Amino acid sequence: MSVGVTVRRYRPRDLDSTIAIYQSAIRDVASRDYDPVQVAGWSAVDRDEWEPWRLRCPTWIAEVDGAPAGFSDLEPDGHLDMMFVHGRFQGRGVATALLNEVESLARRLCLARIFTEASITARPFFERRGFTVIAPQVLEFEGVTFKNYRMEKLLR
Ligand SMILES: CC(C)(COP(=O)(O)OP(=O)(O)OC[C@H]1O[C@@H](n2cnc3c(N)ncnc32)[C@H](O)[C@@H]1OP(=O)(O)O)[C@@H](O)C(=O)NCCC(=O)NCCS
């Protein structure tokens, strides 16, 4: 249930909130599935690069009682790049509320599918919401390897 969760579009002043959500989601939550070196590499953020990155495609912020709790986005080809929920707000339907917005826009754009690279941590969430695994993959980023899953949800 997404009780008390509201979702709105990202505004530039949400920059620091989204960074805080991203880092908490990785350091406090995904850290159960990834080792400290992976967590440090994945959660490192360059604030100057983050700003245009957030504005380049539709991004949504979820709030719980007015506090920023999660964010997600949708690229024009149906790629969902970001789905992160702050450690304080796990398991309260925040990601579900965000995905509803993502999916709603994808359907309005008549996209055939939404696809993502889901972390080990997020895979069960996406499966519960109708995504299937296309293939596992191992990525390398700045000398650190990460396992995740290419997943998709067909919309028609
Ligand atoms: C994955 C994540 C986004 C889910 O956010 P959330 O707001 O806690 O998810 P919700 O509360 O909306 O959960 C929705 C459903 O997924 C299920 N779910 C979520 N995480 C789960 C997990 N790790 N294992 C099993 N089920 C899970 C919930 O039980 C719920 O199912 P139900 O409502 O049918 O009972 C969040 O845990 C997170 O930020 N993880 C760390 C960052 C990360 O890995 N992000 C993804 C990068 S690709």
Domain boundaries, the chain: 5-112
Question: For residue 124, how far is its CA from the centre of ligand 1 (angstroms)?
Answer: 7
Nearest atom in ligand 1 to the alpha carbon of residue 117 is 48
- 3-class state of residue 56 by DSSP: coil
**Among the ranges given (20-24, 50-54, 82-86, 125-129), the one the predictor scored with the smallest mean pLDDT:** 50-54
- Any idea what the Cα angle at residue 74 is, between residues 68 and 75, rounded to 5°? 140
pLDDT at 53: 87
Query: What contacts 124, CB < 8 A, 6 or more positions away?
Result: none
Among residues 127, 51, 30, the alpha carbon closest in space to that of 151 is found at: 127
- 3-class state of residue 140 by DSSP: strand
Question: For residue 91, how far is its CA from the centre of ligand 1 (angstroms)?
Answer: 6
Span 28-74, pLDDT tens digits: 999 999 999 999 999 999 999 998 988 899 999 999 999 999 999 99
**CATH fold of 5-112:** Aminopeptidase (3.40.630)
pTM score, whole prediction? 0.95
pLDDT at 106: 98
Question: For residue 14, how far is its CA from the centre of ligand 1 (angstroms)?
Answer: 22
* C-alpha–C-alpha distance, residues 149 and 109, integer Å: 25
